[in-house]
Chain A
Amino acid sequence: ETGVTQTPRHLVMGMTNKKSLKCEQHLGHNAMYWYKQSAKKPLELMFVYSLEERVENNSVPSRFSPECPNSSHLFLHLHTLQPEDSALYLCASSEHAWGAGSYEQYFGPGTRLTVT
């Protein structure tokens, strides 16, 4: 595998379920990101990790819980979601979060989440 991979590609869950999204980057990068892409809205940055430390939580509700066990893996744990949380969730990585190497973010294919 190369680049940034995400699993699952599609997920349907009820509002009382607990599920997790997984992201893996094979680029040797030190920063990873979660974005939300809703229909007709700009991509929204949710979380940023740099060297496994969370450096940004962009006012995301607590029903979304990120985890970064190492610099190659990023998870998004989901629980008691709402129908308005249905969206495409994108993972990205970059060499660094700041300075040279931070500028280009590489994106995964996304997980299409539907909350019923």
Chain B
Amino acid sequence: AQSVSQHNHHVILSEAASLELGCNYSYGGTVNLFWYVQYPGQHLQLLLKYFSGDPLVKGIKGFEAEFIKSKFSFNLRKPSVQWSDTAEYFCAASLMDSSYKLIFGSGTRLLVRP
């Protein structure tokens, strides 16, 4: 079955530390990949997305993600986190031929200590 795995359920970092959140998907076909973020008390919002082209994708607020097809991975990175990055992060994927079917990972809760 198609699935998205996020290996870190909880991550705690100090401000200015570097962040990498893992995401792996199990799809055989061409995929669209997404990272969504949910700040405390706010809506889910799109951080960045990958459809095709350059596998290194840059999103809002200094986040980036790299699509590595051979590893079925789409890890999220930020070189220096801030307290305001405290949130829950969700990786999601959809197949090109059924693009509305977003399959989400279980999420990673990030706590950034000031």
Contact in complex: A107, B107 (CB < 8 Å): no
Q: How many residues of A contact B (CB 8 A)?
A: 28
Contact in complex: A107, B51 (CB < 8 Å): no
Task: Known contacts A104-B46, A107-B44; decide if A48 and B104 are in contact (CB<8 Å).
Answer: no
Q: Which residues of A contact B51 (CB under 8 A)?
A: 103
**Chain B: CB-nearest residue to A97:** B100
Judge whether A42 is part of the interface by a CB distance below 8 angstroms.
Answer: yes
Contact in complex: A98, B99 (CB < 8 Å): yes
Q: Which residues of B contact A103 (CB under 8 A)?
A: 32, 34, 49, 51, 94, 99
Q: Contact partner of A105 among B42, B102, B103, CB < 8 A?
A: B102
For chain B, the bracket of interface size reads: 20 to 34
Contact in complex: B100, A94 (CB < 8 Å): yes
Task: Known contacts A3-B43, A108-B43, A109-B42; decide if A48 and B106 are in contact (CB<8 Å).
Answer: no
Q: Which residues of B contact A92 (CB under 8 A)?
A: 44
Task: Known contacts A42-B107, A43-B90; decide if A4 and B101 are in contact (CB<8 Å).
Answer: no
Judge whether B45 is part of the interface by a CB distance below 8 angstroms.
Answer: yes
Judge whether A34 is part of the interface by a CB distance below 8 angstroms.
Answer: no
Judge whether B4 is part of the interface by a CB distance below 8 angstroms.
Answer: yes
Contact in complex: A4, B43 (CB < 8 Å): yes
14 contacts between A and B (CB under 8 A): A33-B100, A42-B106, A43-B104, A45-B101, A45-B103, A48-B101, A55-B100, A56-B101, A92-B44, A94-B100, A97-B99, A98-B98, A99-B99, A107-B36
Using a CB–CB cutoff of 8 Å, the interface residues on chain A facing chain B are: 3-4, 31, 33, 40-43, 45, 48, 50, 55-56, 90, 92, 94, 97-99, 102-110
Sample of 16 further A-B pairs with CB below 8 A, known A43-B102, A102-B99, A106-B46? A4-B43, A40-B106, A41-B106, A42-B4, A42-B104, A42-B106, A43-B90, A43-B104, A45-B103, A50-B100, A97-B99, A98-B99, A104-B46, A105-B102, A107-B43, A109-B43
